[in-house]
Amino acid sequence: MQNPWWHSAVVYQIYPRSFADADGDGMGDLRGIIEHLDHIAGLGVDVIWLSPVYPSPQDDNGYDISDYQDIEPVFGTLADFDELLAGVHARGMKLVMDLVVNHSSDEHPWFVESRSGKASPKRDWYWWRPAREGMEPGSPGAEPTNWGSAFGGSAWEYDAASGEYFLHLFSRKQPDLNWENPAVREAIYAMMNWWLDRGVDGFRMDVIDHISKDTTLPDGALRPGTPYGDGGPHYLNGPRNHEFLHEMHQRVFAGRDELLTVGEMPGVTVDEAVKYTDPAREEVDMVFQFDHVWADRGADPWVLYPLRLTNLKAIFGRWQAGLAEVGWNSLYWNNHDQPRVVSRFGDDSPRYRERSAKMLGAVLHLHRGTPYVYQGEELGMTNTPFASIADFRDIEALGHYAQAVEHEGRSPEDVLTVLRARSRDNARTPMQWNASPQAGFTSGTPWLAVNPNYPQINAESAVKDEESVYHFYRRLIELRHEEPAVVYGDFTMLLPHDERLYAFTRAHGDTTLLVIGNFSAETVRAEIDDAAAWETAELLLTNATPPQDLVLQPWQAVIYRAVRR
């Protein structure tokens, strides 16, 4: 079988709300994206993934969809969308849509109909259940299961009109669709085919490992310190998940060339990912796993732990080895749900921000898999110094604050410290285009404040400066396109016990690449075998003065190439 095109591709993610506002209402839009396509094409990426642009009450910034086959008026029209798609294709790139079908908005006509009464023909399109046996419907603790929702509170919402509850693993405005019902699946496949026929090139599938639930809906083990149980074991990677994705493949993807499909799968294991991405099983091309972005947290996501580099390397090493023969990795540091990586795993002080951002890019992009760049990552954008809870907009941050401060009596300052490090709003501050007011994002008032560091960190100055993070990312992407060892080389982790250096080789045919990243502000010598031989190898890329004797400066990255003759 021929290798698929996306093995050597790099994807750029746009979060439309925060990318570029063309009409001055403070919210990004499609025309804003159209105006900035050259910035993305200039990086050399192959694909754009667009976070949701569909009509939505915006309870979870568009991940709550009320019409799957139109465009949110704040973002534009279908005509704007077609123009955007044509502009992307004209620049030789592809466009992948976000597919959010674990749940819809409660304002979607399907749910409105479903909610209209127990006899509704669409009642069974969602998860409706009576109160716990022997309990008064609507009374505390009468929810059908003890599951907590991702954004705080119970995963069940009581509907007084019918006396039943509906399931929402995310907000109460995001009811879960019932994939057990074949009519639901047919409607979703029809919608997906409609977008592909319109010309889009694939889908990023939101929490797609949540679609099959254990239909007996058992209680979960209680989470310490909360009244809620962990339903995860009963809805993550459930009994029919593979079957549903294979059916989707047959009904939607089969016979269409050149698509890219990636399933977002919180909690997926390596073994399951091999199955999801084994081409012979015809499910998805690759998955987003979460292990590495959970490397600095424990069971409670709101407790901060320092990163142990050995842990991060063990995680990546396991994934690289696990998918070496069958399946394919996706690679990311950032997306709209993660804090900015340069603040998280690098050093965002003026002294080392650019150097550490480049080091992080080099290490990630030299792994085997398809790299994803999130808007602003190519500028080394940082977390934001949010002053108070009033500065946050994300439903997750606000929900956590209310739960922790108002219900659990924790200190507001402690909760804010965690939110400043972890909140998804760090990723969602407006894209920094230039040094003009509001970073050139909008002529109005942005929906979420611009990071005050935009006069120093912005696209205009980065594109002009050959030494910027932007041009370093451009070279990394170019290297992937030109050097087969980056795409196909066997991965071997070196120095697994070193807490400062991240080192590995990629070997393909007669070519071996050596990659070393210094994850510390110290000068460190890489004690690897054949150090002397590597010293004389070709240095393909570095972010500081070339090293002597493999002594790396703070946050330095090096990529060497040796060719056996």
Site for ligand NOJ in 118-157 (CB under 6 A): none
Strand locations in 403-534, DSSP E? 490-494, 501-508, 511-518, 524-525
| CB-neighbour burial class of residue 398 (10 A; exposed 0-12, middle 13-18, buried 19+) | middle
According to DSSP, the residues that pair with 156 across neighbouring strands are: 167
Cα(341)–Cα(19) distance, integer angstroms: 18
DSSP letters spanning 63-127: SS-S-TTS--TTT--HHHHHHHHHHHHHTT-EEEEEE--SB--TTSHHHHHHHT-TT-TTGGGB-
Q: Which of 60, 206, 391, 396 is catalytic?
A: 206
- Considering 106, 201, 264, 296, which one is annotated as catalytic? 264
Our CB check for ligand NOJ shows the closer of 170 and 560 to be 170
Nearest residue (CB) to ligand NOJ, 93 versus 207: 207
Backbone angles phi, psi at 292, to 5 degrees: -75, -30
Least distance between ligand NOJ and beta carbon 100 (Å): 6
Q: Which one of residues 12, 166, 170, 560 is an interface residue with ligand NOJ (CB under 6 A)?
A: 170
- Shortest Cβ 335–ligand NOJ spacing (Å): 7
Q: Rounded CA gap, 365 and 372, in Å?
A: 9
- Cα–Cα distance for residue pair 276/288, rounded to 1 Å: 11
Minimum CB distance to ligand NOJ smaller for 59 or for 483: 59
Distances (CA, A) of 479 to 356, 505, 506, 511: 19, 15, 13, 14
The residue at minimum Cβ distance from ligand NOJ is 63
CB within 8 A of 194, min separation 6: which ones? 69
How far is residue 315's CA from residue 337's CA, in Å, rounded to a whole number? 20
Task: Work out which of 14, 22, 207, 273 binds ligand NOJ, going by CB under 6 A.
Answer: 207
- Which of 59, 60, 80, 498 is the binder for ligand NOJ (CB under 6 A)? 60
Size of the site for ligand NOJ (CB under 6 A): 9
Contacting residue, 22, 27, 100, 268, with ligand NOJ by CB under 6 A: 100
Asked about 377 being catalytic, the answer comes back as: no
Residue 498 touches ligand NOJ, criterion: CB under 6 A: no
Site string for ligand NOJ, 238-277 (x = CB under 6 A): --------------------------x-------------
Cα distance between residue 192 and residue 3, in whole Å: 25
Position 63 contacts ligand NOJ (CB under 6 A): yes
**CB 539 within 8 Å of CB 550:** no
Q: Does 337 bind ligand NOJ (CB under 6 A)?
A: yes
Q: Which of 21, 46, 176, 206 binds ligand NOJ (CB under 6 A)?
A: 206
Q: Is 206 annotated as catalytic? A: yes
Which positions are catalytic?
206, 264
Residues in contact with ligand NOJ by CB under 6 A are 60, 63, 100, 170, 206-207, 264, 336-337
